[in-house]
Amino acid sequence: MDRRRFVTSLAAGLAAVPFGHYVLAGVRRAPRRVALIGCGWYGKADLLRLLQVEDVDVVSLCDVDSKLLDEAQGIVASRQKSGARPEGFVDYHQLLSKTSPELVLVDTPDHWHALPMIDAVKSGADVWVQKPIGVDVIEGQAMVAAARKFGRVVQVGTQRRSTPHLIDAKRRFVDSGRLGRVAHAEVYCYYHMRAKGNPPDIAPPESLDYERWVGPAAKRPFDAWIHPRGWRAYMEYGNGIVGDMCIHMLDMVRWMLDLGWPKRVDSVGGILVDTESKSNITDTQTATFDFDELSVVWQHRTWGAPVDPEYPWGATLYGEKGTLRLSVDRWDFRPQGPGEPEHGDVVMELDQYPVDRDEKDLERHVAPAIRGHMKDWLAAIDARSKPVADIEQGHISTTACLLANLSQQLGRSLAFDPATHTIPGDDQATALLRRPYHNGYRHPDPSDFA
C-alpha cells in the first residue's frame, strides 16, 4: 500500500470508531477525559480504581465542599500518570460545559444522583453513577429514558456483579446447575450502622456550600451527621438501610438468578429499639420481594447479634441440591446430601496493587470489585453495549428497595406495573413514586426524553 492510500485508510478507520477504541494494535488516541462529581469517600475510591485500570486523564472534579475538593485534587495529581492537577468546580454544570469530559463519575449523596447523571448524558458523556440511582422511582425512570435517548453507556455502582469471588461462585454453583432450582433466597444486614444520639444543630462548616448540598431535597437544620458521610441517617437525603445495603444484595441475587422486576413488594418495620435518636431511618425492617418463581426476603437490624457472625451482611440461596451463602468477603456452599462443603474467599489483589494497603478509608476487600466494574464499563463503552450493571438494571433494583420503604410506610403490599410505572388501583402509593423537589429545582420527567 502506498503512503497516500495508507493515510486515507487510516483516517477512514479513525472516523468509523468511537473515541477511545484501539485503532491499531497497541495504539490508542489521547487518554479519555474524566470528571468526578462528588469528591467524598466513595468518589475518591471509585476514581482511583479507574486510574488503576486505565491511563485516563482526570481533567476536572466537582464538590460543594472546598476542603474535600482541594484534597481530592491533590490526591488525583499524585496518582495520575500526567501529574496534572484537575480543575475544580463547585457547580457541576460549569464542569460539564468548560471541560467536556467523556466519562463522568457521579458519587454524590443519593438525592443528587439523578440531575447530574441526566445532565452528563445530555452533554455526551458516558456515566458511572452510584447506587441507589435515585431517591424516587420516577427519577430512575427518567434516568433510563435519558441514557437511551442520548445513546450513552451508564454503569451503576452495584459492583457485586463484578466481584471476582462472587463471579466464581455464580459459575461454580448457579450456572453449572449444582445448586439446583432456587425457590427461596434471603438477603440481610445486621451491621450496627444506624447513627445513634442527637447531635445539636450547628452552622455548616465554612468550606461547605450547604444550600447547594441540599439542592432539590427538603432542607434540615445542619448537624454533624449530615456532612461528611453521615447523611444516610436521614430519609430526606437517602433511603435508609434498605436503600444503602439491601440494594447491593438484592441486585446480586437478581444477577445470579437472572431475575427481572418483582411482581409485589411487602415490608414491615420501623424504629423499634433506638427510639431516642433523631435519625429517622428504620432500625428494624423486613421486606419480601415476590418474583413469581421465588421470593427474596430482606432483613435488617441495627441492633442485636447477626444470625451468623460469619455473614453479617450477605445473601443465602436455597437450592434443591444445596445452599449457597455469599458476602463481600467469602462464599460457602453446602450440598444437600452427599458431598463436602466448599469455601471461597475474597481475592484482595494487594500484591498487584500495593497502594491499596495504605489508601485512606479504602475498603480493601471491595477494591477488586470496583476495578472489575470499571473494566466492564470501559469495555461496554468501547463496544457501545450495555454494561453488567446497566442503568435499567440499577433502576429495577433501586425501585424494588424504594417500594419496600413505601410498603412499610403505608402498611400494605404494593404491586408495581413497570410498563406504566404505577401501582394499579392505589393512587396514593402511585403519587408517592415521585418525591417533591424543593428550592426551585425541577423534578426530571421521563417525557422529557421521549
Q: How far is CA 138 from CA 81, 263, 281, 423, 434, in A?
A: 40, 18, 21, 12, 6
> Which pLDDT does position 275 carry in this prediction?
96
State the sign of the Cα–Cα–Cα–Cα dihedral 187, 191, 197, 198: negative
Return d(Cα 229, Cα 244) in angstroms, integer: 12
Determine contact, residues 95/35, Cβ cutoff 8 Å. Answer: yes
| Cell reading at 72 | 481530592
Closest CA to 169 of 275, 314, 349, 10: 314
Joined together, the cell numbers standing for residue 325 give: 451463602
For residue 28, count other CB atoms closer than 10 A to its CB: 14
**Taking a C-beta distance cutoff of 8 angstroms, is the pair 232, 281 a contact?**
yes
Which of helix, strand or coil describes residue 241?
helix
Q: For 161-363+392-449, give the CATH class.
A: alpha beta
Q: Which of 416, 374, 443, 383 is nearest to 143 (CA)?
A: 443
Angle at CA of residue 217, ends 420 and 288, nearest 5°: 50
What is the pTM for the complete model shown? Answer: 0.93
Domain residue limits, the chain: 20-159, 161-363+392-449
DSSP 124: T
Nearest alpha carbon to residue 232 among 130, 90, 369: 130
- d(CA 68, CA 90) in angstroms, rounded, equals 11
Q: How many Å apart are CA 235 and CA 243, to the nearest integer? A: 10
Paired strand residues for 270:
284
Q: Per-residue pLDDT for the chain (450 aa), expressed as one digit of tens each?
A: 444 343 334 444 443 343 343 444 455 579 999 999 999 999 999 999 999 999 999 999 999 999 999 999 999 999 999 999 999 999 999 999 999 999 999 999 999 999 999 999 999 999 999 999 999 999 999 999 999 999 999 999 999 999 999 999 999 999 999 999 999 999 999 999 999 989 999 999 999 999 999 999 999 999 999 999 999 999 999 999 999 999 999 999 999 999 999 999 999 999 999 999 999 999 999 999 999 889 999 999 999 999 999 999 999 999 999 999 999 999 999 999 999 999 999 999 999 999 999 999 999 999 999 999 999 999 999 999 999 999 999 999 999 999 999 999 999 999 999 999 999 999 999 999 999 999 999 999 999 999
Distance CA 192, CA 281 (A): 13
Which of these, 52, 16, 22, lies nearest to 34 by C-alpha position?
Answer: 52
Strand order in the sheet with 57-62: 87-89, 57-62, 33-37, 103-106, 126-129, 154-156
Q: Are 344 and 163 in contact (CB under 8 A)?
A: no
* Longest CA pairwise span in the chain (Å): 81
Question: Rounded to an integer, what is the distance from CA 354 to the centroid of its chain?
Answer: 25
Q: Where are the alpha helices (DSSP H) in 219-366?
A: 240-241, 247-257
Residue 250 three-state SS: helix
Long-range contacts of 373-378 (CB under 8 A, 24+ apart): 373/155, 373/157, 373/159, 373/161, 373/162, 374/46, 374/49, 374/50, 374/53, 374/54, 374/128, 375/53, 375/162, 376/155, 376/161, 376/162, 377/126, 377/128, 377/153, 377/155, 378/20, 378/53, 378/54
Cell of 179: 445448586
Say if residues 281 and 401 touch (Cβ distance below 8 Å): no
Distance CA 141, CA 139 (A): 5
20-159 classified as CATH 3.40.50.720: yes
> How many CB atoms lie under 10 A from the CB of residue 57?
18
